[in-house]
Amino acid sequence: MFSYPFLCRQLKRNGQMKNLATVIISILTLATCTAQSSSLIKKNPKGLFDPTSVCFVQTVSAPTNGKYLFVAGQVGSASDKESSFKDFRTQTRTVFKNLRIALKANNASPKDVVKQTVLIVDYNYDKLEILKEEARKFYGDSFAASTLIPVPRLAIDGMLIEIDVTAYIKN
């Protein structure tokens, strides 16, 4: 894809419109990209916290021959109240339950997940073992690419784990 500054430099360098075909193709490419980006599908599925007040959505999908689905970080609570957070295992189970809700709302399943990012507060080996056990229940044998990031804290006191995923759903 060519950028607007590139096209301007080309036309100035040549001093004429001999690259008109390049200009037309570039404009069509830019128009197509703009049209595709405006067709993003954003959802806040029922059963998940509505994050509108804090300026994000739970899922975003981008149509292609299939579509990419971007699921916001899910946490170990069904609400945003500090008091609803439990132990690490319970939170991890709830995270995967929330991910399943978000995927299902977009006609996807754990087998469609291509990437996950996991944030764990005060990470240690015991937490890793719990994560692996719960992830096996969720993914079966269809694992996704993954990044695990140990963190000192998450957005709300009491949160111990957060996972976001990207899925690809074939048409």
Give 88-118 as a DSSP string. HHHHHHHHHHHHHHHHHTTT--GGGEEEEEE
Q: Which helix (H) or strand (E) holds 13?
A: helix 4-14
Band the pLDDT of 142: cuts 50, 70, 90.
confident
User: Is the confidence at residue 17, as pLDDT, over 60?
Assistant: no
pLDDT reading at 168 higher than 90: yes
Q: Are residues 32 and 50 in the same domain?
A: no
pTM passes above 0.95? no
| CB-CB contact of 10 with 20 (8 Å) | no
Q: Are residues 101 and 128 in the same domain?
A: yes
Residues 18 and 72 in one domain: no
Residues 118 and 74 in one domain: yes
Element (H, E) at 139: helix 125-139
Same domain, 18 and 46: no
pLDDT digits (tens, 9 = 90+) for 52-104: 777 778 898 887 889 999 999 999 987 655 557 889 999 999 999 999 999 99
Q: How many domains is the chain partitioned into structurally?
A: 2
Domain containing 60 equals 41-170
Q: With the CA atoms of 121, 124, 130 and 131 taken in that order, what torsion angle do they form, in degrees rounded to the nearest 10?
A: 60
- The four Cα atoms 91, 97, 100, 102 give a dihedral, to 10 degrees, of -70
